[in-house]
Every structure is written in structure tokens, then in C-alpha cells.
Amino acid sequence: MKCILVTGAAGFIGSHTTLVLLNAGYKLYLLDNFSNSSPIALSRVAKLSSLSKKEAQERISIIDGDVRDFSLLDNVFSTSKRNGERINSVIHFAGLKAVGESFEKSLDYWDNNVGGTITLLKVMVKNSCRNIVFSSSATVYRPKNEAALIETDPISPINPYGITKATIEKMLADIGGCQSTASAQQNSSKGWRIACLRYFNPAGAHPSGEIGENPKNIPNNLLPLINQVGIGRNKSLTVFGNDWPTPDGTGIRDYVHVMDIAEGHKAALDILLSSKPQLLIMNLGSGKGTSVLKLIHIFEVTNGIKIPYEIGKRREGDSAISLADPSQALKYLQWEAKRSIEDICRDAWNWQYKNPIGYL
Ligand SMILES: NC(=O)c1ccc[n+]([C@@H]2O[C@H](COP(=O)([O-])OP(=O)(O)OC[C@H]3O[C@@H](n4cnc5c(N)ncnc54)[C@H](O)[C@@H]3O)[C@@H](O)[C@H]2O)c1
């Protein structure tokens, strides 16, 4: 049985990916320090899976700990060996992700994101594990307002969060013996199998409404902000700028359903484990752009509720348009986003409606 360590497993994308991996038959070591998540997410994942309670208990080990803790991580690898189920791959979600906050708390972002990844890689090297899927981000690109972003576009992030992601990509390319991070596929001369998945705007929730996006602090992403207005926690939504160079003046983003993103991780892992050592750098996006005002409209029509909004100032670190060219993911991973923007709005609201105060 394939055995995987998932860091940041209780988070938004981690919990949905964990569900997909459980249903696909993997044994999972799930690590999280719960700084931005709840252990309840993982118990719900177990219940949602196709496994019996006993099977789920056998297939999941939960570790409450920090990815920056070398001895703890090393111990997880040793435990997996003792249990005769050696961890052979890592999916690395753990990290901080709020663009705005990354300006104020830059050191925390370097420590958590870059520091955490260095520790993880050292432990992997010590335990001869050289397969990793890393959560990168569209923020690594220099914003380009006319056309979709492709993997060979210049890497030039405009906020500290994006800089940490670009730094980690570069580090992974170096340890894999690869030339650069500006190519969708390169062979690794050092025996590593690495996928850096550049997510665009993951959104939505599992259609059951049992798991979803549950930020502990003020949400950074648009769907949770809309949800908070829908549920009555906030009176209205602030739209960050209507003077962007876009048709309706509001920012255009590429929203991609979190279940599509979760399936993208399984696709990446399957390809990595069945092919030669290589570095894959892939956009995970839908290739379709939706403006803030259009998203509000679709959310209102899909869910039959009104979302009052007001226009505020532009937000530091934002750009007018961020849109993926997802063709490399189709070519190399046979992955493409299947769910629509309506699915995203419906599932996001279903989660919020069923869980008005999140996992509490
Ligand atoms: N959601 C997005 O819009 C988006 C877009 C691009 C990239 N990403 C990246 O994807 C990954 C997952 O994002 P998400 O939306 O699920 O975020 P999330 O905050 O919901 O999940 C991250 C998880 O990591 C945990 N964590 C944070 N620091 C940790 C540490 N030092 N040790 C152990 N656990 C730690 C948190 O408690 C949380 O459960 C992140 O690396 C993020 O930067 C997210």
C-alpha cells in the first residue's frame, strides 16, 4: 500500500485532498499544527470516505505537530518504517497563505513556508524519501494583464507570500538537479520526483457540505468573504477596487473547485510515482476568468440570496487579472478542471449554510 505524509492536512485543500487519497486506497500520515484549521475536519473526512470506521482508523494516523519540528517529523518517518509501511511520498500543504498579512508578518512567512519546507526536505533526505508534491501558487508570476499565464512566464512575485513560494520552487529545482523553474517539465538528475502545483483560486467545498474553507482569522479569499455576508456575520462585502483595467473595473480571477484541485494532487502523485525522476511545474486553474462583480452575481442567482457590497480601495499585493493557461496540466497530468463556477458558488454556500460558525 502506498504511504504518504500530508502536511497541513486539516486545512482547506489538505482536507479535500485527504478524502480523495483515502478513497484511492492510500495509507496516510496527516500532520497539522491546527494554526488555521480544526481536527474536526479530519474526523469528517474519515466519515465521508468510503471506508468503515475500523478501516479509516487503520489507514489514518493524525499527528498534531509543526512541520518545522525536525525530530517530530523524523519520528513520523521512523514510526511508518516500524509499522512496515514506509512513507514514500509527501504532499506539502502546510504554510501561511494570506497575501496581505505577508507584508506585515514577513518573517513568519519565511519561517513557516521556507523554514518549514527546509526542515521537511532535510527529514526526507535523511529517510531517503525523494517524492514530493508542493502547494505553489499563481502568485509566483509577475502579473500579466492581457493573457493567461503559462509556466514559462517570468517568475517575479509582487508580495512576500509569493516570494516564499517562488523561493521554495527554486529550492526544489536545485535539490532535484534541475536548471530552473521556468519550464513545465524537466528531468531530475538527482533522483527526485517533484511536482510544484501552482494553484490559481481554489474555492467551493465538498458537495456534502461536511468540509469546506474555514479560516480562523479574517478571510483572505473572496468566496469565504461572500459567505460571511450571506450568513449574516458581515453586513456587506468590500470589493477591493473598481478601477482595475478590466471590463467592469473589478479584479478577474481563475476560480477552480477545491475538489478539482484535490484530484489534481492525486493525478500528480500517480504520474510522479509511475515515471522517471523529474520536476513538474503545473498551473492548476480552470482557464476561465470571473470578475468580482460577476462572481457576486452568479452566487446570488445560484443560491437565491442577496450579497450587499460596497466599493473599497485596491488591496496591497493584488493585480487586475490572474488567469491560468492549464494546458500543461492536461498534457502531463491528464488533469483539467471539471466543475463550473456555479458548482463552486453552490458548494461554497452549502458548506457555510450547514456550518454557520465553521467546525466549532
Ligand atoms: N487557498 C488558496 O487560495 C491557495 C492558493 C495557492 C496556494 N495555496 C497554498 O496551498 C496550501 C494549502 O492552502 P489552504 O488554502 O488549504 O490553507 P489552509 O490554511 O486552510 O491550510 C494550511 C494548513 O497548514 C497548517 N499549518 C500552517 N503552518 C503549519 C506548520 N508550521 N506546521 C504544520 N501545519 C501548519 C494549518 O493549520 C492549515 O491546516 C498552502 O501552502 C497555501 O499557501 C493556497
> What pLDDT, on a 0 to 100 scale, did the predictor assign at position 263?
98
Nearest atom, ligand 1, residue 41 CA: 39
Report residues whose beta carbon is within 6 angstroms of any ligand 1 atom: 7-8, 10-14, 31-37, 66-68, 93-95, 97, 112, 116, 135, 137, 199, 201-202, 221
The average pLDDT across 10-22 equals: 98
DSSP-assigned beta bridge partners for residue 89: 4
The reported pLDDT for the residue numbered 220 is: 82
Closest-CA residue, ligand 1 atom 34, reads 32
- The residues that are catalytic are 161
Q: What is the CA radius of gyration of the chain?
A: 19
> What cell numbers appear for 207 in the block?
458537495
Contact 95, 113 (CB under 8 A): yes
Distance in angstroms (rounded) separating the CA atoms of residues 347 and 204:
5
Does the domain at 3-204+255-286+324-338 match CATH 3.30.70.260? Answer given as: no
Partners of 294 in the β-ladder: none
Q: What is the pLDDT of residue 300?
A: 98
Q: Which alpha helices (H) appear in 63-206, and where do they start and end?
A: 70-82, 99-104, 106-109, 116-126, 160-175
Tell me what pLDDT residue 344 has. 98
Average pLDDT of the residues in 252-263: 98
Q: How confident is the model at residue 106, as a pLDDT?
A: 97
Atom of ligand 1 nearest to the CA of 37: 39
Closest Cα to residue 196, out of 142, 126, 140?
140
- The secondary structure of residue 274, as a DSSP letter, is T
Identify the band that residue 145 occupies on the pLDDT scale cut at 50, 70 and 90. confident
How big is the CA angle at 318 (ends 293 and 251), to the nearest 5 degrees? Answer: 20
Over residues 266-290, the pLDDT tens digits come to 999 999 999 999 999 999 999 999 9
pLDDT at residue 217 is higher than 90: no
Lowest-pLDDT choice from 91-105, 143-157, 161-175: 143-157
pLDDT grade for 360, boundaries at 50, 70 and 90: confident
What are the b/e assignments for 157-195, b being 16+ CB within 10 Å?
bbbbbbbbbbbbbbbbbebbebeebeebebebeeebbbb
- Tell me: pLDDT of 351 over 90: yes
Q: What is the pLDDT of residue 42?
A: 97
Q: Is the pLDDT of residue 107 over 90?
A: yes
Inform me whether the pLDDT recorded for 1 exceeds 80. Answer: no
State how far the Cα of 175 lies from the Cα of 157, in Å rounded to an integer.
Answer: 22
Average pLDDT, the chain: 96
Does residue 219 register a pLDDT over 90? no
Q: How far apart are CA 168 and CA 181, in angstroms?
A: 10
CA 299 to centroid of ligand 1, rounded, Å: 25
Report whether pLDDT(19) > 80.
Answer: yes
Report the alpha-carbon angle 17-22-27, nearest 5: 115
Output the pLDDT for position 114: 98
Please give the distance, rounded to the nearest whole angstrom, from the Cα atom of residue 170 to the centre of ligand 1: 19
Residue closest via CA to ligand 1's atom 18 equals: 11
For the chain, domain boundaries: 3-204+255-286+324-338
Mutate to test the pocket of ligand 1, among 16, 76, 93, 221 (most ligand atoms within 8 A of CB): 93
So what's the pLDDT on residue 182?
84
Q: With a cut of 90, say whether residue 143 has pLDDT above it.
A: no
Residue 216 has a pLDDT of 82
**215 pLDDT above the threshold of 90:** no
- CA 214 to CA 232: how far, in whole Å? 16
Q: Which of the four pLDDT bands, split at 50, 70 and 90, describes residue 121? A: very high
Burial zone of 22 (CB within 10 Å; 0-12 exposed, 13-18 middle, 19+ buried): buried
Q: Whose CA is nearest to atom 15 of ligand 1?
A: 12
What is the structure's pLDDT at 359?
Answer: 93
Q: Are the C-beta atoms of 203 and 255 separated by less than 8 Å?
A: yes
Instruction: Decide: 321 and 246 in contact? Cβ < 8 Å.
Output: yes
Atom number of ligand 1 nearest to Cα 14: 16
Give how far Cα 222 sits from Cα of 20, 97, 237, 250, Å. 25, 14, 9, 12
Which residue is listed with cell 527546509? 118
The residue-averaged pLDDT of 11-39 equals: 97
Mean pLDDT of the region 227-247: 95
Q: Flag whether the pTM goes above 0.75.
A: yes
Segment 234-243, tens digit of pLDDT = 999 999 999 9
What is residue 146's predicted lDDT score, i.e. its pLDDT? 77
Using one digit for the tens of pLDDT, what is the confidence trace for 182-204? 889 999 999 999 999 999 999 99
* Residue 329 Cα to ligand 1 middle (Å): 22
Q: Would you tell me how many other CB atoms lie within 10 Å of the CB of residue 250?
A: 23
Counting atoms of ligand 1 from 1, which one is nearest the CA of 66? 32
Q: How many CB atoms lie within 10 A of CB 314?
A: 14
